[in-house]
Structure 1
Amino acid sequence: MRKSTGYFMMGIGFTLGIVLGLLIQLPVITLPTSGREHVDHGLDLVGSGPDVRKRVVTRELSNDGNNNGLRSGEGLDRITSTYPLRGLKHSLHSVVYPINNGTKSHLQEKSVPIPDIKHDYKPQSSNQPVVLPPASDPDIPKPGQQGTDWVKAVSDMVDGVLWSPALENSCFKAGQSDKAQKQWREKSSRSKVVKMSEGCGRMQNRLLMLSDGTRACARYRLNTDQIQGEIYSFYLGRLLRINNLLPTVLSVVNSQSDNWRTVHTDMANAQWSDNKVVVLTRWSEGLNPAYIPVHLRGDDRALLPTSGSLGEMGACELMQWSDLIIFDYLIANLDRVVNNIHNKQWNSQMMESPAHNLERDSDGNLIFMDNESGLFHGYRLLDKYSSYHKSLLDSLCVFRNSTVNIIERLHLSGNVGEELHQLFVQDEPAHNFIPTIPKKNMKILQQRVGDVYEQIQRCRVRFM
């Protein structure tokens, strides 16, 4: 009896020990602090509501250069450069989850250190014309090259936290994307599908051959929000004037219509149903894998307007990467760079592998492929993956001027969701076959626009 009692007491003690140990090791959820140090520069927005802050900001912008004693750009400088971030609301997605002992692993959000800049650093000016590298030439001058004024080379590429206008003009042709989209919309609506085969990814996607020989990828999904994610992400890219998405339209399939009758047997074999909406994306020849820049591969990732961060890749490609980081943050895309970062825990070489769903065309332009997780599925998984998105956004401090202007306008107007829907309805003939974006998703998108806006202002303070 005593022996049984002893075993019983030992069992109770062992169980209590395990429970106590587990309690000690439970993770702690820490929300980001809202405290900030402020310096008064004359625009008192602290404690004001969002409407008051918006009126103050709008007034300063409207006064900019309009005979109010302000030099051109000074109104914006007062808000963004000398008085940044005051009263701006934190995103609701920046939750940090420390693990067991309170330290952070690579899965948690982190602050990216910004290298020191010498106080006497000033871009050198010159009366000589700026000579920029060709858009497809990856051989940007590097520090230490004989006869190269590296500081001047950097100043030719960046202006503060913006890519230089000369560089941007050399990399992109204005209106090219709009023209290509219009042509694709007209072609896809009037052309017959004469061949249908596998070759556009997994599941029920199909490669189509049109009557004039043009090829297209058709995205067929039973889940409507994947179709929504793809098409609305495309139109968000157009709203941002980002030209890295292939021309895309919606099409309603009908095996009895002139456009689809030729391939009705193939449609049945693919288990396509009539009156379903598919996304048609123009096929692009000669695509090659694209790699993540060295600046963004490590845990100390940073793409900054400083000499050390611009010497390893062509400036035109880095400019596109700055847009990619913003675009993927806004739509919360899981299937591109975030995919590589997440899988690094199982494959240490993942960041040196080609970026997922990213290609490079024959002209050296990046193509942002397969955005179906954007704005919908990605938003449902923010609690799990927000730290990845945030670490990429925090690493970015050099931007396209046109992207900055649009982000600032969308942040101040507060109606990015309405503008996106309006553009979609205006330019997409089959818009009635797709549900509108839910208000909850529009609210998240607006918050993430605010996050990007805040990052731009933070960078201005550091580098201007």
Structure 2
Amino acid sequence: MVRAGLGRAAALAVLLASASLAGLWVGRLAERPGRFPRESSPALSPSAPKTFRTLLTLPGEEQRPSRGRARVGRERERGRAAASAASSSPVRGGIFWSRWLEAQVPRGFPASEASSWLAAARAASVVGLERGGCGRAPNRLARLSDGSRACVRYGINPEQVQGEALSYHLAGLLGFQERLPPVALSRVEASGAGGRRWAAVGEELRGAPWAEGAVVSLARWVDNLTDVVAPQPWRAPLREAGPGALSPPALRGLSLAQLVELVQWSDLILFDYLTANFDRLVSNLFSLQWDPRVMHRATRNLHRAPDGGLVFLDNEAGLGHGYRLLAVWDRYNEPLLRSVCIFREGTAARVRDLHRLRNAASELLHIYRTREPLAESLGFLSDQQARLLQERIDLVHQHILDCQAQAAQEHL
């Protein structure tokens, strides 16, 4: 009995000593910074559910899954938004590109950047002229003293230089000037006050077929451009594609990139009709008579920038020059216009306002004189050409109304 009691007492003493040592060891660990957090672990908290997962969770680890879940949640939300946009109709109201689709169009040459470049180009000197890269043989690629480059276009006659400048400003009135490289006018002078700007390239000027005092256009050079082939609605001859080739049914199965390109093409075809420009898609259509594959080849004076945006280049065939040749080229420009029955709403609104106010030529003249210091040197459209511009604005507006009526009829 005594021996058993002593054994129990010894065991109790050993147990108490072990507990004291354990408590001392835990207490000393808690005093060491960085080993365990001072706050109690949720896994060991009396209120925490004693699941197998919580028992395996290390102190502080319980926060990681929540951050991961939040990140995954955000990614899923973005994915759902993208999927929702992709599944949304690219057209609203039957004839207008949807806003979410327009938001995907690359920005091109923003107004602020264009304004900065134009100011710098007008103040810079020409330090080099190179052949090639800018179209016809008389044109040159100029290196400017500010480090930028520009295509200098001389034009067969002053009317073409005027067409380049006026087309640029008309695109501004229509709301898609960002698709065109900025254009400024410059006077070529080998001597005198203005000669200082061209003094460094006097030798090159003597080899160029430019008349002294001629006004040329300087269009901002764009690197890394690639060719553009006409999209599917215009691959077939227009007599087969027919009116409204670009309409909602034609968009089925197209990728986002294809839709974004068509948004820009709808502006381009309206623009080329209004300016009667025959040196772009019309030129390809004309060549169909001897080259049946021409619509599968690069489109003239149209390129794609690295960001996917279309660049409407070399517009000197528009307006004055194009209007003189309407009898030749409108057989192609008119069917092209009627092939489009989806528009940017902003473009349609600008056309509607110019139709309603009947002031297309006067608005163009005002913006041209305000923003181009050499505007008076080339003059403006003749009275007849000004009337032609308004008539073409009116016809585009009526065409948009016809497409709208057709869409409403099909919706019934």
TM-score range, shorter chain: 0.7 to 0.9
1:138-153 equivalence runs, <5 A: 152-153=87-88
Q: Distance in 1 between matches of 2:82 and 2:215?
A: 49
Secondary structure, aligned partner of 2:129: strand
- Name 1:197's counterpart in structure 2: 130
**Aligned 8 A contact 2:121 2:146 in 1:** no
* Per-residue deviation, 1:193: 1.0
* Per-residue deviation, 1:349: 0.3
Moved more, 298-307 or 234-243: 298-307
Q: Distance in 1 between matches of 2:138 and 2:377?
A: 19
Query: Which of the numbers 278, 284, 288 marks the counterpart of 2:226?
Result: 288
- Name 1:375's counterpart in structure 2: 319
- Name 2:254's counterpart in structure 1: 311
Secondary structure, aligned partner of 2:299: strand
Secondary structure, aligned partner of 2:348: helix
Moved more, 399-408 or 209-218: 209-218
1:233-252 equivalence runs, <5 A: 233-242=167-176, 243-252=178-187
**Aligned 8 A contact 1:180 1:247 in 2:** no
**Which amino acid counterpart does residue 259 of structure 1 have in structure 2?**
R
- Name 2:338's counterpart in structure 1: 394
Query: Which of the numbers 201, 212, 216 marks the counterpart of 2:146?
Result: 212
- Name 2:287's counterpart in structure 1: 343
* Per-residue deviation, 1:184: 1.8
Moved more, 373-382 or 402-411: 373-382
Secondary structure, aligned partner of 1:289: strand
Deviations 1:199-232 (A, max 9, x none): 2222311111112321111011351111111111
- Name 2:271's counterpart in structure 1: 327
Moved more, 250-259 or 261-270: 250-259
**Aligned 8 A contact 1:253 1:274 in 2:** yes
* Per-residue deviation, 1:318: 0.5
Q: Distance in 2 between matches of 1:231 and 1:324?
A: 17
**Which amino acid counterpart does residue 135 of structure 2 have in structure 1?**
G
**Aligned 8 A contact 2:126 2:145 in 1:** yes
Q: Distance in 2 between matches of 1:329 and 1:223?
A: 22
Q: Distance in 2 between matches of 1:132 and 1:451?
A: 37
* Per-residue deviation, 1:129: 4.5
Matched, 1:421 2:375: no
- Name 1:450's counterpart in structure 2: 394
1:22-421 equivalence runs, <5 A: 129=81, 131=83, 152-153=87-88, 155-173=89-107, 177-199=110-132, 200-242=134-176, 243-256=178-191, 257-298=195-236, 299=238, 300-301=240-241, 302-306=245-249, 308=251, 311=254, 314-421=258-365
Secondary structure, aligned partner of 1:348: coil
* Per-residue deviation, 1:170: 2.9
Secondary structure, aligned partner of 2:138: coil
Moved more, 303-312 or 327-336: 303-312
TM-score in terms of structure 1 length: 0.65
**Aligned 8 A contact 1:230 1:372 in 2:** yes
Q: Deviation above 6 Å: which 4+ runs of structure 1?
A: none
Larger Rg: 2
In structure 2, runs of 5+ residues without a counterpart are: 1-79
What number of residue pairs does the alignment pair up? 318
Task: Indicate how the Cα distance of structure 1 residues 317 and 222 shifts in structure 2: closer, same or farther if over 3 A, else same.
Answer: closer
* Per-residue deviation, 1:291: 0.7
Q: Percent identity?
A: 36
TM-score in terms of structure 2 length: 0.73
In structure 1, runs of 5+ residues without a counterpart are: 1-127, 134-140, 142-151
* Per-residue deviation, 1:442: 0.8
Deviations 1:169-202 (A, max 9, x none): 232549x531122112111111111111112222
* Per-residue deviation, 1:159: 4.1
Provide the alpha-carbon RMSD of the alignment.
Answer: 1.9
Task: Indicate how the Cα distance of structure 1 residues 222 and 335 shifts in structure 2: closer, same or farther if over 3 A, else same.
Answer: closer
Q: Distance in 2 between matches of 1:375 and 1:310?
A: 37
